[in-house]
Amino acid sequence: MQPSDLLSALRTRRVVAIVRGGDGAAALDTVLTLVRHGIDLVEVSLSGADALDVIRDARAALGPDALLGAGTVLTAQDARRAAEAGAAYIVTPAVTEAVAASRALGLPVLAGALTPTEVAAARAAGATAVKLFPAGPGGVELLRALRGPFPDVPFVPVGGVDAAAAREYLAAGALAVGVGGPLVGRAADGDPTGLTERVAAFAALGSPTTHKESS
């Protein structure tokens, strides 16, 4: 995947599903369910159980074109292992060595940042887009404030983003949003109750009518 491919996927899908759980088999089932029901831009967090196996098995099941990435990537070794498992893009919680390592591997990166200094560092390190994390405490006002000095940075708020907040972030100029618990619930721990209903609510955010103010 090229950086332009990730940006295009973020722009059209609008939602990155974050799968993190304590049961590898359930996490794999969750990834496949998300894709089957319309959310096909999925990040598997390396902090979850058997995460590399989940990525590897999901890649085998979904094929080479699946929009499958690895999240919570902290080190260069994490990045290499994620790439070997089949991750097409990398997501970091901060500006770590994994950003440059991932770019060296030819993978686009959604790099975590919260402050203006961190946003600038993420872009200087080669981030394709900036994961505004944790977005919850600052909310939409933080996104609007950062878009002032960084109007050309593609922002993806993550952390505390439910369906209502997702609509607000997208209307305020976010390229996409990253969603974990409010979408996945406890499915990756073995309890998929309500998953398909939540998927339907978030998949609707991909409609072009959702995006009002962003450039």
Of the candidates 196, 176, 119, which has an alpha carbon nearest to the alpha carbon of residue 153?
Answer: 119
Question: Phi first, then psi: what are they for 191, rounded to 5°?
Answer: -120, 95
Give the type of residue at 126: G
| Biggest alpha carbon–alpha carbon distance for the chain | 44
Strand order, beta sheet including 15-19: 155-157, 129-132, 109-113, 90-91, 67-71, 41-45, 15-19, 177-179
131 is catalytic: yes
Is 43 noted as a catalytic residue in this protein?
A: yes
Please give the Cα distance from 55 to 42 (Å, whole number): 10
Catalytic residue among 43, 97, 197, 213: 43
Chain mean position to CA 46: 13
Catalytic residue among 84, 97, 118, 131: 131
User: Residues 92-96: contacts with CB within 8 Å, 24+ apart?
Assistant: 92/131, 93/131, 93/133, 94/118, 95/121, 95/122, 95/125, 95/127
Alpha helix positions (H), the chain: 3-13, 24-36, 51-62, 76-85, 97-104, 116-124, 139-147, 163-171, 181-184, 195-203
Residue with tokens 């593609």: 154
Catalytic residues, by residue number, are 43, 131
